[in-house]
Every structure is written in C-alpha cells, then in structure tokens.
Structure 1
C-alpha cells in the first residue's frame, strides 16, 4: 500500500483529457471546462468550492446534440462567454442557431444560456443540461482517484438537489428560470425561439455547506464589484507597447481574481497560489507573489502576512510538521485535508519562515502602517527563533530540512519534487538537506529585522542580527562555494557533501544580497551560458548536468517566477559587467514566452532551446493562472525600472534600464505610505510626479 503524499509535491495530472481546458478562478472557487463550456465526467474538470468538486458533470445538449465551438471570450479571470452554434441541418450549408453561454463564478456558478434564432422562421428547440456532482476532494481529483462516497439526487420543484453520501451536510442545488422540467441528473426545457429573436434561461449552481445554501453574491459582493473596487486602489500600469500592455492587463485581472478576502477591511485580503490545484493559502507561493506584487498592491502583502501569522506554528506535531514559529506550507479545507495533511494546515516548508520576515521588512519600506508592522513583529521574531533552533537542528549555522514522517514532503524548498535536488551527475540528495537559496533568505531576513530594530532604537538587537547575518554569510560561502566550478552548490546533503549541479537556485542568492562581488561576477557568467538561458527564460537546471531534461518539472524547465527573481538579482548586482545585459535578455525572452501564452505566463513551460522550437513548448500539466507566474511581469518591471523604496526615510531610487521594445511605461497612482506618485519611464529616461518635497530621489 502506497503512503499518501502531501498535496503540493511534483506535477499533477492533466485536467482536460483530450479536451482543451478553460480555467476560471475567483478567490477559492475555480472551474475547469472544455471550450464549449461543458464539464465532462471521468476527467479532472469540474466546479471546485472550498477544496471539493461540487460539479463533476455539466453538459449542454440542444436537440440532443453537442454544439460547435465558434470562440471563447474571457474578459475577466472569473467570467467567460462560450460562443457556439448548432451544427447545420442536413442539406444546409449554414446554421441559423447561435448559442451563447455566459458564465460567472463566485461562491458557486451562474450561467446565462441564450439561443439566438438568425433564421426567418420560428424554431422549436429542446434543451438539456446534464448535471452531476461527486464531491471529490481536491487531492483525489488531482491524483486521478475517484470519490468513494457518491451522491444522492432529488427533485424539488424547479430545483435539482444533490447531496454527498459521506457528508449529508454538503451538497449542491441547481435551479433554472424558464420553468425547466427537472429530473434526476438533468434540467430540460422546450422552447420556441422566434425568427430573428432569442430565448434565454439563467441557471444557478449553489453549494450547500453544513445544510445551508451558499448563495452566489450579487451587487457589492459580486466578483465584478470586488474587482472594480480593488482596481480603484491598485496601481495602474500601462505601456505604449501593445504586447507588454496585454501582459500587464492579464496580470492585474489574474491577481485580482486570486485574492481571497478575510475580514472585509481591505488589509486582510491574501493571495491564493493559483489554479487549478492551489486555490488556497500557500506559505512560500503567497509570500513570493506578494513581494512581486508590491508594485501593484502593497495591501495584498500585508493581508498575506496577517493570515500566515494567525496560522504560525505554536507546538511540535510530527504529523503536520508544525513547530513553534514555523510558517505554514499549505492550508486545505476539503473533506480529505486531515487524511492527507494530518490536519487542515501542513508546515513542511523550509523557506516560508525566512521569507515571512523578508516580506515584513519590505512592506515596511513600501509604507505599511507602523501599527501593522508592530502587530506582526512578534511573528517575525518567532520565525527567527525557529530558524535558530528548529531550522538549524545540528547547530552548524546552516538551515536544513528533513521530513518528520513518511507522509511529509521529501523536498521542502520550492523545487519540491522527489528528484528536484541532485548533483552534477544526477544523483538525488539525501536528507537532511541544506539548500543554497534558503541560506540567502535567512541572511536577508536577519538584515531586514535588523533594519526595523535600528529604526526603533534597538541598536543592540540590530547589531546582533547583523553579526548573525555576517557569520551566516561566511559559513555559507565556505560550505557552498566551489572555486573549481565557479558557482555555489545547490545544496549540502546529509554528509555535508556539495551537490554540485548548476541550477537557477544560485540566482536567488543574488536577489538576497548574500553574494560577494567576486563570486557574483562568476555567477553572472554562468547564468548567461546558453546551457542556462534557453531564450525564453532561465532553465531550472543547466543543460550540461546529468539530470537535465527540458520536459522535467524541476530539472530543465523554465518557471517564470524563477526567471523574474533572477532578473531582480542581476539588477541588484548591476555593477557587475554583463548583469544588466543578461537581465534585459532574460526579461525579453520571458515576455516573448508570455505573449506566446496569450499574455498569461503559465506556472512553467519546457526548457527547450529557442533555436530548436521558435515558440515555448507548454508543460502538459502546468497550472494557469498561477499566482507567482502571474506576478512575474511585475517584478520584471520593477527590476528594470531600478525601483527601490524606503518610505520611512523618504527615499525613492529609480534608475531605469528598460528594453527599447517596452516603449513608454507608465505607473499611475503608486501608493507609497500616505503618498501617491506617478512614474513615466522610457529607456533610461524618467519622470516622477507627486514626489513629496522632503523626499530624496536617487538615480
């Protein structure tokens, strides 16, 4: 019998089988269908609400037939319009029946089905919507397993009621206008559509939780209203380059839809990791996404920090890997959460804890209110305590991970697949494992907390933290640098042996600032090698390494967030020869890749060389929209602007090196503390509007 695995570990199954998939997302709800709008049983498609599939079948038939696709329009991440036609009748060249399915998801799903008669005679039509629900847990769907319980169906007037056998309090109610004839498994209509006229029905799919119907929000609570309200407070980013403008519009829409609100105060919204499988809070993913998104919305980072602080570890639990001060890895609310994770929250992440402290320091620099920083400081100090004690279990000055039971993640950094950490020959590392980038995160976390302490007049604490950071940097350099190879080892294994593979992880070290200039120059040269830069971004593993496979999840693919962090690191070390040129090349390659995916960069794509395939090759089960992939263009923009902010000191650094093709870039209503600025930049030229008189502009 195989051991159940933690959810976020390696690639999931495909979602659509032979059917291209349309993904809609709104907060913790998402819907996967084919391009006709149908949800097919026996696939991973469905409507998912609170980590359970509440619709496993949703198939429309007109006169007993499937419609034909004309197009799919997705104006927002939570809405779609499926434009279809009936197949032409025998002997006729054209169809006269147009079918439009307008779908919106929220806490449930609403679909307006319209039939337009373009002919000159009235037309009789029979319409059937076949509906079923299996209430399968997200884990089971992702792994391709069925739901053991099944469902019970009943009819009440014009409503179809479906109840979960294993949890009678969980269910779904489907209703429609137009007086449908409801039978177990289907809603049926018969209609006469007048010549040059139309007929329509509105169908609602409303989840039932704890025996209570969850109505689809309308007016102020609707997804559209929430999106508009958020856009009014977010920075407006635009460009004269149509391609970049298209990407930025997708970024804004996707991140807005991935926001989950908790408390209604605007400061408690946090970001879900992404669709389809990560529509919940993830420590690492949500923290990195929030960092990248500061340019767009600082409050998203504050809400993410607050939510993670609420869930911060307080006790020792080997099953969930909770430890005092540890920041969680993932949270689940589905029926199998306890079975798979050991609880609703699993803590098996080695990097979320230092990233929490890093993000708090950055939020303060970007103008988070002082009372918010004060509120979160105890959580940051508890996180640093976890780093010192539980993170460094063998007291060698480095942070390692080793899962506590056979249910936990074997790899607990961002490359969390079973073979994600290996040496140059391809041999997999054995735990305990110390990852190179984690040491960089710890260094940056201590430096961030020291800056806060110094601003508060706690000079002794600031000095102690800086000394710890300096000592950690020295130990890291001694243990990880490989002079004969010219790069840092990706990790140390259980025997403290250097795992000498050349990976994208070393670019994260530049982002954190832990690298000396002499070593940074070597790293820039290595990252610029064609074995690393495939032309569409940075490969996760060099093509010269033993485990390289451009179709691998972590051993040769390209992850947009990873490349964006590399660009941010290169621009931090822009004084190093070649760093700016490589940052621009990686940025342009990744933007080209994003445009090939219609402006929405996926979670990852294959790392084939651009000379081999002129368009990026999709990774079969890549998730989209994925939060940190959606946010990657924002970090590229910030990095190429050379934008750094220190609101408490009244400092704005801006030294743009924008690629020529980006044209003129405009940031309007950029909120920094109590101030609102606007920035225009093109090439190396810039204009800043609204800069307070007592601020210093550094270029």
Structure 2
C-alpha cells in the first residue's frame, strides 16, 4: 500500500506495517502481502549511502526522478529505527488470526534476521536499547515516526541530538522479543523461549529504570546521544501501553497525562503538550493530532484497563472523522475542541492516508476488545462499546478460514460462525507478556498476551 496522497505515494515500511495491523479485522491478506513484500526487500549488506544493513526493513521506496539524489542514489532507503521490530510484531499478530500458517512460518527466518539487526546494528553501543543516527548527510535526521527535523525535543524546546533511543522503539523491540518467545513456545523450543523471555524481561526492567521520570510522572521521549532523558511530555509514551512494556504502577500516571488538558484536545491526543517549549498546534509533530497515533494510544489504554480514557480518545477521533466527511486526514491541528466547532485542518495533510484510513477500524476493534488466538483455539471478546453508538452488527469477519458474524447490543454479545472447537473468552485481553518457559508451562485463557503474540 502507498502511505498517502499526494506526498507519499510509495511503500513505507512503518506506515504499511501499522496500517496492515490496524486493518487486520477486515483483511489479513493485506498484512501477509505487506510482510512478504518487505521481506523481499529486507537488507542484505551494509551500505552507508542508502543506510541498508543486514536484516533491516526499509523506510521507503521511491522511483521518481529526484529521489535518488535526495536519498543517496537508490530507489530503496532504509533509514528508520522502528520498521524492523514492527515487522516481527505484525507477523506475530497475523499468526494469532490463523491465516495461512505455512506462509507465516515461511516469514519466520526474516523475523529472525530482523532481530539480528536489532541486536547487532540497532543497539549501536551495546546498552540494550536501539538507537538511531543517520549514516549519511542525505539521510533522515530523526528516524522514528516523528521524523521531521524538529520532531524530537526536550521540554524546553531544544532539539535532541543523536544517537537517539526513542521510547516507542524500545517498546516495539520488547513486543518483538515477546512475539519470538511465543513462536518458540509453539515450536517446543524451550531454549529459545528462555532466551527471548530473558531478553524481554531485561529490556522491560532497564526501560522502566532509565526512561521513567518520577519527578514528572511520565516516560521520556527517549535518550539523547549523551544518554540524557529527553524530558518532553509527548504522545510517544502511549505506544508503551500498546506493547505492554510500561510497568503497571506507572501506567495510571501515563493515562492521566495523555488525557490531561495539556494533551487531550477533545478531538484526540496531541503529539506534544501545550506546556512544552516546542509546542505549536499547527506544527507537523509538535502539537498536532495524528489519528493513527490516537488509535495506538486508545488500544494501549484499553489493554491496561483504562476503559473510560480509551473511550474518550476513540470517540474524539471518530467525532473528528465525521467533520472530515468520513475521511480522516493524516493529521489535523491541535487546537482545543472548545475553541472551534470542528478540527482545524492541517493545510498539507495527506488525504487519503493509509494509517489514518485504518484508524476507525482499529478504534472499533479496541472498543470491542476482540482478540483472536487461533493456535490456542480462543477468541477474546469483552466489548466496551459506547452506548452512544447503539447496536452494532458486523458480518463476514475473516478468521481462521471462516467468516464470522459479531453482534453487540448493550451488554449482550454474540459471535456466530466460529468452529465448534474455538472457545470464546469473555474477558479483556491483558497486556503483553512473554510466553511461558519450562518453569511455567501455563497456556490458555489465563495467560497474558498482547500485540503480536501468536
């Protein structure tokens, strides 16, 4: 898929992966095709000009006349820190839906190559965190999803200098480790289970020690080149709820900050709080509202049990969608809802745009709290469907080779079309957790899981 029109009519690794993830409840073949396409272009050699490295997933492909000059002479550019772990996360999530097990298994060596990149090239200094720093002056200065030149900054507005370890990138790496532990568990490879569980546990412990700012009550956006916490209050930390890397005793403060007046506009959560030095509601990454960002935040809030907060974020974005005629743009300005009766458009926003288009689908899934785990013969469902939307019927959801119908009417939930041997678990899925190792062979509905866990 292309990232968006008119500016990004090209394949982007991060965008296509997150868009495919958010569209899973409609079409899992999209995620499968995306993973296969990215696997074919996975890095094989070290090339400082294009920033290619073995195992790395591309940032973007371009075939226009000017792109080779702008990005080092090739049609594929690899300068991003997050697409590679996200590749593994989406592969695990696809496995949960039960589509094409042989095709998913065929992609597992590419996931292993991605994890090799994480540990050999992503972690530049061996401190356990994945950092980025461009390899060429023509490359992107910032290589997370907020990739504008000023997209990563301190609370006082000063720009962070690379190498930079972003909080959301560490959370994706954590999720990737957990995914791999579940693949190993299902293969009966207990040695690999122990390895990946250990990697996940060590990263989670180090992350919560180094990135948490107790005096502020939020996670740092990242660590800069001097390993200083980048202390701005930004939306990045919401992704840490999505993957489960955030300690539960810190999650409540994260939720409070995300829904504070400084962050929440009424139409969605800003990328940067109004109290920060770089805040500008009309900027690209420093105070605007991005629908896909909010879909991830809402999913994370719901997974930690912050139902009311997740509903507020979801309904705010869906209200904004109505004002845009049903087509959410890439982003819109971060003015408060009580200032304007409709979101203020961002003048050069892409529309249509892939992950913005997928956002309402993911918000619906988050509100329904529906999560399949086909390898365990389970579907978790515990709707937190807002009463304002009334009765909901969805027909022909593709799931494990079947077409399933779902109906939600108040407190009543009905799923039809599932195979007889699939259990419906009527409780919310808990946040991400590694697979059980040989010391703990639990499996089934009481075993925590999260995004990407097979």
Alignment of 1:462-611 (within 5 A): 462-574=193-305, 579-611=306-338
* Aligned counterparts of 1:620 and 1:687: Cα–Cα separation in 2: 43
Query: 395, 403, 407: which one pairs with 2:138?
Result: 407
How far the C-alpha of 1:335 sits from its partner, in A, is 2.3
Asked whether the 8 Å contact 1:655–1:684 carries over to 2, the reply is no
Higher mean C-alpha displacement, 666-675 vs 625-634 = 666-675
**Aligned equivalent of 2:21:** 291
Asked whether the 8 Å contact 1:656–1:685 carries over to 2, the reply is no
**Aligned equivalent of 2:396:** 669
How far the C-alpha of 1:685 sits from its partner, in A, is 2.4
Q: Which secondary structure does the structure 1 equivalent of 2:317 belong to?
A: helix
* Aligned counterparts of 2:395 and 2:320: Cα–Cα separation in 1: 26
Q: Which secondary structure does the structure 2 equivalent of 1:355 belong to?
A: helix
TM-score, normalised to structure 2, is: 0.92
How far the C-alpha of 1:674 sits from its partner, in A, is 2.0
- Which structure has more relative contact order (CA 8 Å, sep 6+)? It is 2
Asked whether the 8 Å contact 1:656–1:683 carries over to 2, the reply is no
* Aligned counterparts of 1:330 and 1:450: Cα–Cα separation in 2: 29
How far the C-alpha of 1:449 sits from its partner, in A, is 1.2
- Higher strand proportion, which one? 1
* Aligned counterparts of 1:660 and 1:615: Cα–Cα separation in 2: 23
**Aligned equivalent of 2:107:** 376
Query: 110, 121, 124: which one pairs with 1:393?
Result: 124
* Aligned counterparts of 1:372 and 1:546: Cα–Cα separation in 2: 48
Larger Rg: 1
Query: 150, 166, 170: which one pairs with 1:435?
Result: 166
Gaps of 5+ in 1: 1-270
Query: 302, 325, 337: which one pairs with 2:55?
Result: 325
Asked whether the 8 Å contact 2:99–2:401 carries over to 1, the reply is no
* Aligned counterparts of 2:31 and 2:105: Cα–Cα separation in 1: 15
Runs ≥4 residues deviating over 4 A: none
**Aligned equivalent of 1:445:** 176
* Aligned counterparts of 2:179 and 2:352: Cα–Cα separation in 1: 31
Q: Which secondary structure does the structure 1 equivalent of 2:273 belong to?
A: coil
Query: 305, 308, 321: which one pairs with 2:35?
Result: 305
**Aligned equivalent of 1:426:** 157
Asked whether the 8 Å contact 2:264–2:270 carries over to 1, the reply is yes
Deviation readout 1:196-245 (Å, 9 max, x if unpaired)? xxxxxxxxxxxxxxxxxxxxxxxxxxxxxxxxxxxxxxxxxxxxxxxxxx
Deviation readout 1:541-583 (Å, 9 max, x if unpaired)? 0111111110110000000000110000011111xxxx11111
* Aligned counterparts of 1:618 and 1:479: Cα–Cα separation in 2: 37
Q: Which secondary structure does the structure 2 equivalent of 1:633 belong to?
A: helix
Asked whether the 8 Å contact 2:82–2:169 carries over to 1, the reply is yes
Q: Which secondary structure does the structure 1 equivalent of 2:325 belong to?
A: coil
The alignment of Structure 1 onto Structure 2 pairs a total of residues equal to 425
Deviation readout 1:35-67 (Å, 9 max, x if unpaired)? xxxxxxxxxxxxxxxxxxxxxxxxxxxxxxxxx
**Aligned equivalent of 2:442:** none
**Aligned equivalent of 2:11:** 281
How far the C-alpha of 1:658 sits from its partner, in A, is 0.8
* Aligned counterparts of 1:598 and 1:682: Cα–Cα separation in 2: 26
How far the C-alpha of 1:338 sits from its partner, in A, is 2.1
Q: Which secondary structure does the structure 1 equivalent of 2:24 belong to?
A: helix
How far the C-alpha of 1:653 sits from its partner, in A, is 0.6
How far the C-alpha of 1:273 sits from its partner, in A, is 1.0
- Higher helix proportion, which one? 2
How far the C-alpha of 1:302 sits from its partner, in A, is 0.2
Gaps of 5+ in 2: 427-454
The alignment's C-alpha RMSD in Å is: 0.9
* Aligned counterparts of 2:190 and 2:75: Cα–Cα separation in 1: 40
Sort the Cα spacing of 1:683 and 1:531 in 2 relative to 1 into closer, same or farther, 3 A.
Answer: farther
How far the C-alpha of 1:462 sits from its partner, in A, is 1.4
* Aligned counterparts of 2:85 and 2:277: Cα–Cα separation in 1: 31
**Aligned equivalent of 2:92:** 361
How far the C-alpha of 1:671 sits from its partner, in A, is 1.4
Asked whether the 8 Å contact 2:174–2:200 carries over to 1, the reply is yes
